Structure 1
Amino acid sequence: MHESRADLDQTDVALLERLQTRGQATAQELGEALNLSASQAGRRRQRLEETGVIRGYRATLDPARLGLDVQAFVQVQLGRHGAEEGAAFARLLRTRAEITSAWTMTGEADYLLRVYCSDLPALNTLIHQVLLAHPVVSRVHSQIVMDQPKADAPLPIG
């Protein structure tokens, strides 16, 4: 169940757009960009944090600079779909650092995983010795990313 859309005015939208591209912006910088005082900008940011519109802040790292040269999307189909099986697979997802995000899906695949590995043998190990070895997994289909012509973008909030 999703909570209803937050009540945002145009200044909130502008502040959120700015923070999505410059998460470390100070209240002073936000105030200058939005024609607000630093204290007004800070209070707005704090309200958006407290209401859960802003979930947190994080650094965006370069996978290649960290030796993570293979990115792939992996579709996983489960053989059984009970609550216990889903919970067991979710536990596996949380234990594997190379699985950076996971979604449950409609259609043929039950899960779509985004993974980063150091090389193709590491991806092969993840697929064959971890995912396919899990008792509830019946099928895995992987697609290796060749290029990313559009980087992960800010959410469209306007």
Structure 2
Amino acid sequence: MKSEPHRLDRYDRRILEILQEDASLSNQALADRVGLSPSPCLRRVRALEQAGVLLSRVALLDRRSLGLELTALIHIGMDRHTPERFAHFEETVASYAEVQHCYLITGQSADYMLQVVVPDMDAYQEFLLRRITRLEGVDSVHSSFVLRRVVDRTALPLDYTPT
């Protein structure tokens, strides 16, 4: 069952837009930029958190400055499509720090797509051979490597209207 989206007014949207750009702002600085006094601004932020709209505030790190030069996209096919097999796979890959995203997908010859970051090809080979291919149920693995990030954003569109 699909849940209804949380209704956002112009202040909520502005708060979320600003926090997506810079989540480190103090409540006072956020309130100033939104055009509210600090107390109502803080109440709105807390309401957005309680409603599950604002999940967390994080720092975005530069991969390259940390020596993580290689981003791989891995398509993984499973041998059996059972809830237990999928749950085990998902729980295991969620524990791997190299895995940035894991998607259960359709429309491909794969069941999952992972985005993985590692220092280099040697580290990728180690990750692939010692972890991914040893997972129970993994039947096929196809890797692609990111040459250049064309669009790499974390901000979500807040005023989406289909064209």
Provide TM-score, normalisation by structure 2: 0.91
Structure 1: how far apart are the matches of 2:55 and 2:120? 32
Structure 2: how far apart are the matches of 1:2 and 1:25? 33
Provide TM-score, normalisation by structure 1: 0.93
Show CA shifts across 1:71-128 (max 9, x none). Answer: 1111111011112211221122022111121010012211110101111011112222
SS of the residue 2:142 aligns to: strand
Structure 2: how far apart are the matches of 1:48 and 1:99? 28
Show CA shifts across 1:40-93 (max 9, x none). Answer: 211111111111110111110111111111111111110111122112211220
What's 1:31 paired with?
A: 31
What's 1:89 paired with?
A: 89
Percent identical: 31
Q: Name the amino acid aligned to 2:116.
A: V
- Superposition map of 1:56-75 within 5 A: 56-75=56-75
Q: Name the amino acid aligned to 1:120.
A: M
Residue ranges of structure 2 left out of the alignment (5+ in a row) = none
Q: Name the amino acid aligned to 1:34.
A: V
Q: Name the amino acid aligned to 1:88.
A: H
Residue ranges of structure 1 left out of the alignment (5+ in a row) = none
What's 1:80 paired with?
A: 80
Question: Once superposed, which parts of structure 1, at least 4 consecutive aligned residues long, lie more than 2 Å away?
Answer: none
Q: Please, what is the CA RMSD of the aligned residues?
A: 1.3
Note the C-alpha offset of 1:129.
2.5
What's 2:12 paired with?
A: 12
- Superposition map of 1:5-154 within 5 A: 5-107=5-107, 108-154=109-155
How many residue pairs get aligned? The number is 158
SS of the residue 1:44 aligns to: helix
Note the C-alpha offset of 1:146.
1.0
